[in-house]
């Protein structure tokens, strides 16, 4: 099994006619994902390499039965694209857009919570989700993932998500699902959402969690691991050597004072019973050991 | 982007948040002009983006023009925790009856806005939070609902503000919330917010952090632009639109994605080296970006080797490879490159690089292996 998506997931790509949308949307299709439609207002009736394009998500859903959306539009257009998808009944939205204002993120997150509680948003500013061999929505290179499980991956950082997949696949350890939740201030899906889903997924036997400095999401995840996880968790936190008080790349990664440091997060996770590695390679090695000993 | 106090007060004024009359001065003479205009007594305040100005001698009260001259001369050029004062804010001194605290920021854990108000203002609020958490009244604000006047009134009452201050403070909170939301602030903070002896509530300080992602809808932010760094490498990087932070080691770092870049720093450190910088070339890095990144690192004389660590997602490895080849032709690199390239179009990338591999361009298959080679080439010094 997998979490959030599977081989039956039907995807509409919002922004399929743009260069990024076309590249990643078609790449997802080539991977085997059911990419059934594209949406670009004003371009309904056209197609992108055989994928029909509609003016609205509602039209795309009516025509194709799409139940997931891949949002690949600029920051200005992303909030309305996300809400349009939710209003059209899409249950799972992946938004990779980077650079959305935090005020917009807070507003559409809370609007979704209130008006569309059944809709899950992944992202924004995330690499997406891949269930190897079944479905790939986002910008992850499918060939670095290995089908068959037993490991679930959840990561806050884009490129480190790929690194985590790569470390495991190189060691012939497969993945059930790999979820990149993104590093923005208001992620639609949290570590805890993913940990809970992996805990409930019978095929996922162990979880790799990749965090980074800033915020308190890893500390919250640690509390969840301690109280609610029976499956082994291997963690890696990026930013041990980051200088304090500096913004490292995106909104997610800021440390001020001792709050949100890698050390504090690592201590919390260790205390929660997780295995905490010092680099992605070591995290991979620890997971290989854990998988070996799964009965 | 953090604003200076005077910029924060100008920003507050757009949303109707009352402040003291005052003006900006870059010289002693200008300070006197502003003081005459604001009316004595005045406060002369150093404009630096660092806390603890008062303790460092950066805030002084002046009763007349002579005192303004003395204080302005002393404060201009003062080094406050590494920040040299080039600009002053001179404003009419208020007769303070009470000092409060008020702020809006995003509570990332709750995914809601958080308003904090305290009757214990004028001091380090983090210290108040640590020693007397009950002294801070907190209210989560759902962005869908916004802040109602009733909720603002209840909050200032809960915080224990003087009854005379409450109505004005509640109204000011409404204005501060508009400033925070419509003004796209990550933080809008007033410390102290004061009640004057003649019964007026206004902001005596302004701490505003703008959300850079919202710059596209705020043309007025242009006036706040300007560099906050004196690090020449960082200035060059900023000019080239790169996300660069200068450090003091000998291994230059180029990576895509903040997480991978941070992790690259960590790994270099773990294998006995030290990073010369943090540089995230982001998603969609093309030849120009790579060339610019190598150019910036090449200006750093402490660099002995350059570790380029790329895992392609949006970034396509063939474009990265083209960028490196092009940069090698464009930039006369002083240090060898150790490259690790994986992910989207990695094979194409390696094909492009095949004819260029030498002792100046080393390719390693793993992140850890590449880190070890880069550190070895840098001499392994820390």
| A213 in contact with chain B, both atoms CB, cutoff 8 A | yes
3-state SS assignment for residue B343? strand
Residue A186 shares a structural domain with residue A285: yes
pLDDT digits (tens, 9 = 90+) for B147-206: 999 999 999 999 999 999 999 999 999 999 999 999 999 999 999 999 999 999 999 999
| Half-sphere exposure for B181 (CA within 13 Å, toward CB) | 19
Q: Are residues A114 and A175 in the same domain?
A: no
SS3 A93: strand
At residue B362, the pLDDT reads: 94
Shortest CA gap B202–chain A (Å): 26
Per-residue model confidence as pLDDT tens digits over B21-79: 999 999 999 999 999 999 999 999 999 988 788 889 999 999 999 999 999 999 999 99
pLDDT class for A254, splitting at 50, 70, 90?
very low
Q: Which residue of A has its CA nearest to B344?
A: A141
Q: Which of B111, B265, B313 sits opposite A139 (nearest CB)?
A: B313
A256 or B135, higher pLDDT? B135
Residue of chain B whose alpha carbon sits nearest to that of A99: B213
Interface residue B266 vs chain A (CB under 8 A): yes
A172 and A116 inside one domain: no
Paired tokens of B259: 């997480």
Task: From residue A166, give the alpha-carbon distance in Å to each of A280, B23, B311, B362, B381.
Answer: 10, 57, 10, 21, 30
* Nearest residue in chain A measured CA to CA from B369: A281
Percent of chain A with pLDDT over 70: 94
Q: What is the mean pLDDT of residues A157-178?
A: 92
How far apart are alpha carbons B247 and B258 in whole angstroms? 16
Q: Give contacts of A 123-162 with B, CB under 8 A.
A: 127, 139-141, 144, 155-160, 162
Is the Cβ pair B143, A106 closer than 8 Å?
yes
Domain final position from A122, A153, A184:
A122
Of A103, A155, A216, which has the smallest distance from its Cβ to B108's Cβ?
A: A216
Tell me the residue range of the domain where A160 lies: 141-292
Same domain for A102 and A224? Answer: no
Q: How many CA atoms lie within 13 A of A291 on its CB side?
A: 23
Q: B246: distance to nearest CA of chain A, Å?
A: 10
C-alpha R_g of chain A? 18
Torsion over CA: B195, B200, B205, B211 (sign) = positive
Q: Please check whether residue A132 lies inside any domain of the structure.
A: no
pLDDT tens digits, B337-377 = 999 998 878 899 999 999 898 888 999 989 999 999 999 99
B295 is catalytic: no
Q: How far is B364 from chain A (nearest CA, A)?
A: 15
Is B216 within 8 Å of chain A by CB?
yes
> A95, A122, A149 — which closes off a domain?
A122
Closest CA to A34 of A4, A58, A14, A64: A64
Place of tokens 């092009």: B326
- DSSP-derived pairing of the beta strands A233-238 and A275-277: parallel
DSSP A185: S
- Of A240, A235, A239, the closest CA to residue A274 belongs to A235
Judge whether A127 lies within some domain: no
Question: 187-206 in A: which are within 8 Å (CB) of B?
Answer: none
Q: Which residue of A has its CA nearest to B182?
A: A103
Examine residue A1 and state whether it is found in any structural domain, yes or no.
Answer: no
In B, which residues are within 8 Å of A107 by CB distance? 143-144
Q: How far apart are CA A233 and CA A283, in angstroms?
A: 10
pLDDT score for B327:
83
Task: Establish if A107 touches chain B: CB-CB under 8 angstroms.
Answer: yes
Helix spans in chain A (H) = 19-31, 57-64, 78-87, 102-115, 158-170, 191-200, 217-228, 262-271, 280-292
Give backbone dihedrals phi and psi of B312, rounded to 5 degrees, phi first.
-75, 130
In this structure, CATH architecture of domain B21-92 = 2-Layer Sandwich (3.30)
- CA–CA distance from A102 to each of A109, A293, B112 (Å)? 10, 43, 11
Domain identity same for A221 and A272: yes
Cβ-contact A39, A53 below 8 angstroms: yes
Task: Report the gap between the CA of B290 and the closest CA in chain A (Å).
Answer: 16
Asked if residue A136 is part of any domain, the answer here is no
**A279 within domain boundaries:** yes
A224 lies in some domain: yes
Q: What topology does CATH give the domain B96-224?
A: D-amino Acid Aminotransferase; Chain A, domain 1 (3.30.470)
pLDDT digits (tens, 9 = 90+) for B301-316: 999 999 999 988 777 8
Dihedral pair phi/psi, residue A13, rounded to 5°: -100, 110
Q: Is B342 on the interface with A (CB under 8 A)?
A: yes
Q: Are A159 and A151 in contact (CB under 8 A)?
A: no
Looking at the fold, whether A167 and A53 belong to one and the same domain comes out as no
**In this complex, is the C-beta atom of A101 within 8 Å of any C-beta atom belonging to chain B?**
yes
- Spell out the domain ranges in chain B: 21-92, 96-224, 232-377
Asked whether residue A148 falls in the same domain as residue A285, the answer is yes
A203/A77 same-domain check:
no
Break chain B down into helix, strand, coil percent, rounded to 5.
40, 25, 35
Domain's final residue, options A76, A91, A122: A122
**What's the burial of B162, exposed, middle or buried (CB within 10 Å: 0-12/13-18/19+)?**
middle
| B232-377 fold | Rossmann fold (3.40.50)
B313–A157: do the CB atoms touch at under 8 Å? no
CB pairs under 8 A between A and B: 172
- Among residues B165, B162, B110, B172, the alpha carbon closest in space to that of B138 is found at B110
pTM, two decimal places: 0.91
> Looking at residue A23, which CATH number applies to its domain?
3.40.50.720
Between CA B173 and CA B115 the distance in angstroms is 9
Q: CATH no. for residue A173? A: 3.40.50.261
């Amino acid at each position: 099994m997998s979490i959030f998506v599977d081989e039956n997931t039907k995807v509409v790509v919002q922004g399929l006619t743009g260069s990024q949308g076309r590249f990643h949307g078609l790449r997802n299709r080539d991977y085997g994902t059911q990419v059934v439609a594209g949406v670009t207002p004003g371009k309904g009736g056209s197609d992108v390499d055989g994928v029909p394009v509609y003016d609205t998500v509602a039209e795309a859903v009516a025509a194709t039965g799409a139940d997931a959306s891949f949002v690949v539009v600029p920051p200005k257009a992303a909030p309305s694209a996300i809400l349009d998808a939710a209003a059209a009944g899409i249950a799972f939205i992946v938004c990779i857009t980077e650079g959305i204002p935090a005020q917009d993120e807070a507003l559409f997150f809370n609007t979704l919570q209130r008006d569309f509680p059944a809709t899950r948003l992944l992202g924004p500013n995330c690499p997406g989700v891949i269930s190897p061999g079944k479905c790939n929505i986002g910008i992850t290179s499918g060939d670095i993932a290995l089908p068959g499980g037993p490991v679930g991956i959840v990561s806050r950082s884009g490129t480190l998500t790929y690194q985590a997949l790569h470390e495991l696949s190189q060691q012939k350890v497969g993945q059930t699902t790999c979820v990149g939740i993104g590093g923005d201030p208001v992620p639609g899906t949290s570590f805890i959402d993913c940990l809970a889903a992996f805990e409930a997924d019978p095929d996922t036997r162990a979880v790799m969690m990749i965090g980074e400095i800033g915020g308190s999401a890893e500390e919250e995840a640690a509390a969840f691991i301690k109280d609610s996880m029976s499956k082994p968790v291997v963690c890696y936190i990026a930013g041990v050597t980051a200088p304090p008080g500096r913004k490292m790349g995106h909104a997610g990664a800021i440390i001020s004072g001792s709050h949100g440091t890698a050390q504090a997060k690592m201590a919390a996770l260790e205390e929660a019973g997780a295995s905490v590695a010092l680099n992605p390679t070591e995290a991979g090695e620890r997971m290989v050991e854990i998988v070996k000993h799964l009965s | 982007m953090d604003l200076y106090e005077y910029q924060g007060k100008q920003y507050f004024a757009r949303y109707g948040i009352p402040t003291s009359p005052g003006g900006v001065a870059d010289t002693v003479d200008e300070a006197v002009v502003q003081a005459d205009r604001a009316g004595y007594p005045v406060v002369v305040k150093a404009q630096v983006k660092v806390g603890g100005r008062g303790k460092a001698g950066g805030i002084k009260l002046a009763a007349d023009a002579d005192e303004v001259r003395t204080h302005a001369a002393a404060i201009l050029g003062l080094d406050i925790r590494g920040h040299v004062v080039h600009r002053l804010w001179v404003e009419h001194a208020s007769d303070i009856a009470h000092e409060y605290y008020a702020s809006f920021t995003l509570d990332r854990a709750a995914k809601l806005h958080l308003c904090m108000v305290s009757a214990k203002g004028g001091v380090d609020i983090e210290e108040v939070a640590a020693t007397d958490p009950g002294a801070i009244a907190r209210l989560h604000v759902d962005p869908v609902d916004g802040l109602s006047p009733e909720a603002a009134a209840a909050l200032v009452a809960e915080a224990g503000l003087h009854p005379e201050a409450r109505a004005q403070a509640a109204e000011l909170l409404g204005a501060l919330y508009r400033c925070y939301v419509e003004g796209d602030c990550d933080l809008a903070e007033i410390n102290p917010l004061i009640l004057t002896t003649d019964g007026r509530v206004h902001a005596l300080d302004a701490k505003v952090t703008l959300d850079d992602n919202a710059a596209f809808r705020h043309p007025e932010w242009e006036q706040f632009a300007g560099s906050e760094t004196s690090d020449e490498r960082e200035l060059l990087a900023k000019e080239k639109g790169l996300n660069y932070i200068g450090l003091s080691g000998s291994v230059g770092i180029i990576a895509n994605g903040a997480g991978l870049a941070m992790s690259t720093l960590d790994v270099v450190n773990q294998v006995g080296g030290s990073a010369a910088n943090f540089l995230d070339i982001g998603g969609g890095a093309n030849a120009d970006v790579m060339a610019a990144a190598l150019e910036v690192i090449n200006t750093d004389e402490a660099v002995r080797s350059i570790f380029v660590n790329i895992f392609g997602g949006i970034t396509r490895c063939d474009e990265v490879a083209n960028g490196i080849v092009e940069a090698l032709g464009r930039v006369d690199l002083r240090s060898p490159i150790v490259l690790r390239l994986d992910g989207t179009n990695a094979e194409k990338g390696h094909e492009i690089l095949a004819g260029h591999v030498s002792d100046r361009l080393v390719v390693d298959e793993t992140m850890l292996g590449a880190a070890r080679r880069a550190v070895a080439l840098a001499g392994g010094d820390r």
